[in-house]
Structure 1
Amino acid sequence: MNEALADAFEAQRGRLVAVAHRMLGSRADAEDAVQETWLRLARQDADTIDNLGGWLTTVVGRVCIDVLRSRKIRPEAPEDELIVLEDTGPAPEDDAVLAESVGLALLVVLDTLRPAERLAFVLHDMFAVPFTEIGQIIGKSADAAKMLASRARRKVQQRHRPVEEPGQHAVVDAFLAAARQGDFEELLRVLDPEVKWSSETRRGLVVRTGAAEVAERTHHGARAAAFTCHALINGEPGIVAWAATGKLLGVVSYTIVDGRIVEIRSISDTERLASMGLPSRVPVT
């Protein structure tokens, strides 16, 4: 393969990874799909390609379709992932803002969309690919592709962000404040007596149960988080935390019922955190 074509592919790589990431919901799977696209390009006669960008989009789209269809066949479930959104308030209603927010959330509704619907929605609403080109990728007419995108959009509008019960983040804030201050009684007030805390660390999964144990362990580690921001994690209220140095510490989600935390899920394992596409550091002034 000539160097000019390789350079042209590299110029498209970021866009291809973005398309595949939103299609597949996994950075690792997206990188694999783009690598497969590169291998197919290497086997292709470059002189037969009139529009490299369009050709690459078509190929990566078809690779993603194949991956999604194979997931439906394989008995094992895809890798469990946390979907992290900065919590900026009510869900956007404008279609363009909706498409971008869903892309950043790695398509919360991935499992509710059929492969062709997902492809049509992602390519058209997020990357402005014409329906004629989308139809060619999935082997359907432009009108059929438009219908698939419309159907997917309706599903996304209905389900892309679960409705958070009022006051849930206030419960999280009260819990964090109590943890930092060592207010054991306040911690027990906001924790359900049977609360469960699942923590994924570099050493593996650690599970703790019971308000007293969770409260004690939370107090020990709370002060390490110098910077936090509210987040929606798989639709649950949560936080992303950084140390005073600016290093990413982890993400934590909270399941809240009747004003009390009944379940906590945290991830501090660096490999898992890296797969989420979160900033590894924040500026420290």
Structure 2
Amino acid sequence: MSDTSPTDPVAAAFEAQRDRLRAVAYRMLGSHADAEDVVQEAWLRLSRQDVATIDNFAGWLTTVVGRISLDVLRSRQAHPEASYDDRLPEFVVTVDDGPAPEDDVALADSVGLALLVVLESLRPSERLAFVLHDLFAVPFDEIGKILGKSTDATKMLASRARRKVQATERPAAAGREQREVVQAFLSAARNGDFEGLLRVLDPEVKLTVDTPGGVVVVLGATEVAAGAQSRTRAGAAARGRVVLVDGLPGFVSWREDGTPLSVMAFTVVDGRIARIAALIDPARLASMDLPEPG
């Protein structure tokens, strides 16, 4: 929660920037909880600053959020074992009636999860340069000050990051391709086909499972495939249905008594599943507006 007061003009000006700052931090860090922490730290730093010395209020705050986010990214690299995942955001689940053209467009436009997967592959300095310039139009000279680099060097970082991002972008037909990859995964899981699972999983696939006890993260194709096999052997899911989750290919499963068992969302990059977000918390599942079992 914010400690700002609505009667304070500085606080009011900060609150007007909060949503944008949170968006910057989330694109940098891929975690809603970390983004909130970064924005709150920016407020604390602002409260210690003589506001009269700030020429560009929005620019100053963006710079501060960028610097704090960069520190967090670098800390993650130094301590990769540390978990930074928070609860998964609310899923919007809709019926998937097949690869209609409008669905393909929706999938192509729904870059949230897919973009975050790509951004996680960038070095911290590349990610900062790309996010601030390409997504939030921050000038290169200001980004260079955050990184301690020249404007030209900062442009090169952003260009390198842009090439990596563009290399994973798919045309509108990607919706159909994504469905095929996800269907291959589901089929391999049902059939206990371990090799088939490995063929459709990115070697560095990340599975994030939201459980009643918190978030569990599984990394790597071998671990994810083994888990998919064991869940299938357990036979807990009596029925399942292909859906769209936030515009991405997904799957809902139910127990025999009709209570929802899980919701899964798949992010496909370059023809392989790079991220799976799964929700198995019964309380959250019960509160969701899910379609009827197919």
TM-score w.r.t. the length of structure 2 is 0.62
218 and 64 in structure 1: CA distance in 2 versus 1, 3 angstrom threshold: same
Identity over aligned residues, as a percent?
A: 51
One-letter amino acid of the counterpart of residue 218, structure 1: A
For the residue of structure 1 that corresponds to 2:55, the secondary structure is coil
Per-residue CA deviation, residues 178-209 of structure 1 (Å, 9 max, x unaligned), is xxxxxxxxx9x971236799975326789872
Per-residue CA deviation, residues 154-200 of structure 1 (Å, 9 max, x unaligned), is 11122467x8577345568xx7xxxxxxxxxxx9x971236799975
Aligned to 2:73: 68
Segment drifting more, 47-56 vs 66-75:
66-75
For the residue of structure 2 that corresponds to 1:117, the secondary structure is helix
Deviation, structure 1 residue 268: 2.5
Per-residue CA deviation, residues 80-101 of structure 1 (Å, 9 max, x unaligned), is 5779999953885xxxx7xx82
Aligned to 1:201: 211
Deviation, structure 1 residue 142: 1.8
241 and 3 in structure 1: CA distance in 2 versus 1, 3 angstrom threshold: farther
Task: State yes or no: 1:167 paired with 2:180.
Answer: yes
- 106, 112, 117: which one pairs with 2:121? 112
Residue segments in structure 1 that go unaligned for 5+ positions in a row: 176-186, 243-247, 256-263, 274-278
* Distance in 2 between residues matched to 1:128 and 1:85, nearest whole Å: 29
For the residue of structure 2 that corresponds to 1:113, the secondary structure is coil
Aligned to 2:280: 268
Per-residue CA deviation, residues 77-129 of structure 1 (Å, 9 max, x unaligned), is 4345779999953885xxxx7xx82x554521233211111011001111111
Give the conservation status (yes or no) of the 8 Å contact 2:129–2:158.
yes
Per-residue CA deviation, residues 214-264 of structure 1 (Å, 9 max, x unaligned), is 2xx211x65xx8x9425687xxx533799xxxxx98531579xxxxxxxx9
Aligned to 1:178: none
* Distance in 2 between residues matched to 1:111 and 1:272, nearest whole Å: 27
Aligned to 1:218: 237
6 and 106 in structure 1: CA distance in 2 versus 1, 3 angstrom threshold: farther
Give the conservation status (yes or no) of the 8 Å contact 1:85–1:231.
yes
- 136, 141, 152: which one pairs with 2:150? 141
Count of aligned residue pairs for this structure pair: 236
Aligned to 1:184: none
Aligned to 2:263: 251
270 and 126 in structure 1: CA distance in 2 versus 1, 3 angstrom threshold: farther
Give the conservation status (yes or no) of the 8 Å contact 2:210–2:278.
yes
TM-score w.r.t. the length of structure 1 is 0.64
Residue segments in structure 2 that go unaligned for 5+ positions in a row: 94-98, 198-206, 217-226, 255-259, 268-275
One-letter amino acid of the counterpart of residue 125, structure 2: A
Give the conservation status (yes or no) of the 8 Å contact 1:21–1:30.
yes
12 and 165 in structure 1: CA distance in 2 versus 1, 3 angstrom threshold: closer
Give the conservation status (yes or no) of the 8 Å contact 1:61–1:137.
yes
One-letter amino acid of the counterpart of residue 239, structure 1: F
Moved over 4 A (4+): 80-88, 163-166, 169-172, 194-200, 203-208, 230-233, 270-273, 279-283
